[in-house]
Amino acid sequence: MFPNRRDFMLQGVAAGAMMGVPGFLHAQIPVGDMTLDVVSDGHLTLPGSFIFDAMPKDELMPILERAGQEYDQLTPPCNLSLLRGNGRVVLFDAGSGSEFMPTAGKMLDALDALGVAPDDITDLVFTHGHPDHLWGVLDDFGDALFTNAAHYMGQAEWDYWTDPNTVNTIDSGRQAFAIGAERRLAVVAEQMTFFNDGDEVVPGVGARMTPGHTPGHMAFEVRAGNSAVMIVGDSIGNDHVALARPAWESGSDQDRVLGAKTRVGLINDLVASATPIVGFHLGHGGIGRIDKAADGFTFVTEL
């Protein structure tokens, strides 16, 4: 079962103190007899136009103001999920590594604070191939970092990023993403196993195809008995406008129309089933659930 609000908040405070980082919220949730931790990889620094350019500004501004967000610059957190139990240590996404942004790529410190080293990871599961999720798969010498881990990526996502023509078909602002993904995936190809929509990737972890942000983006349902948590990756890209107006097309999605359709369907399912989520770029520690609000939906951290 899920902890009550008091347990959840106490765990957050205790772990935050352990990290020695003032104001750093580290969140943890049990799933059956497994434990799921949010591991911070730092944050991104993005111009708001990256997400907002196609949205009606007059309606958008009050939503951002309510959420305490600036239009011009966003600093979304990067929340990796670490699932431990049944003899496995499963990491969802590898973070940015050292070559993407100076504010991101901090995962190793956060893992270390939990007593976890890269060699301890048994399974590394990718939501998608964008830099903030993939580039941390290599160390500073360009070698595989998680040497003992089986790596898993959705088949469609792998096919897209390893296609030599993707660099020509992707929009010009993301060409570096294509070059960077292809290079890194070549290094870990031998470690990689592929899966499809509905597959059980590792015991207790089911894949849900959630395309649009990228062609083969996957979310993951972690389930043990009656307990479940959905790791949504970037299919719900933030806790402000993506929830207040899920049907609005977001500039962060490579296929904006499909991304919006996926987001609306996923949110409806998550609200109907009251399933807690971990969102890669959601604030407030990244773990919570989605509630209906008077105006769209909202992210609440009381489980």
- Shortest gap between Cβ of 1 and Zn ion (angstroms)? 30
Q: Based on CB atoms, which residue is closest to Zn ion, 227 or 235?
A: 235
Burial of 167 (0-12, 13-18, 19+ CB in 10 A): middle
**How many residues are listed for the chain in this entry?**
303
- Which residue ranges make up the site for Zn ion (CB under 5 A)? 132, 234
Which stretches of 107-195 are DSSP H helices? 107-113, 131-134, 155-162, 166-169, 175-188
257 neighbors 250 (Cβ within 8 angstroms): no
**Please, which residue, 96 or 166, has the CB nearer to Zn ion?**
96
Q: State which residue, 132 or 239, has the beta carbon closest to Zn ion.
A: 132
Q: How far is the CB of 160 from Zn ion (least distance, A)?
A: 16
Task: Pick the closer one to Zn ion by CB: 123 or 132.
Answer: 132
Shortest distance in whole angstroms from residue 274 CB to Zn ion: 25
- By beta-carbon proximity to Zn ion, the closer residue of 133 and 223 is 133
Distance in angstroms (rounded) separating the CA atoms of residues 119 and 18: 22
Nearer to Zn ion, 34 or 287 (CB): 287
Supply the minimum distance, in Å, between the C-beta of residue 77 and Zn ion.
10
CB atoms within 10 A of CB 274: 12
CB of 270 vs Zn ion, minimal distance in Å: 19
Compute the distance between CA of residue 199 and CA of residue 154 in angstroms, rounded to an integer.
10
DSSP state of 69: -
Structure tokens at 89: 């240590």
